[in-house]
Amino acid sequence: MYTCICNAIKESDLRKAARQHRGGAESVYAKLGKRPNCGHCLEEAEDIILEEREALATPLAAA
């Protein structure tokens, strides 16, 4: 599924980039070689980025 239609950025690519790069949506887009156009995706992109970083910071439960 695409998070950003203007730049054809898939949610999966955004999640991967969020784990590898710092900053907000615009910074992560820049690392993907993109920049916002209409801006409609930015709020959702920020949520996805935060979600990924929180998942990184949360230790896995011991099995």
Using CB under 6 A, list all residues that contact ligand FES.
4-7, 36-41
Q: Long-range contacts of range 9-12, CB-CB < 8 Å, 24 or more positions apart? A: 9/34, 9/41, 9/45, 11/48
Nearer to ligand FES, 39 or 50 (CB): 39
d(CA 20, CA 30): 13
Give me the least distance between CB of 22 and ligand FES, in Å please. Answer: 20
Nearer to ligand FES, 23 or 39 (CB): 39
Nearer to ligand FES, 7 or 52 (CB): 7
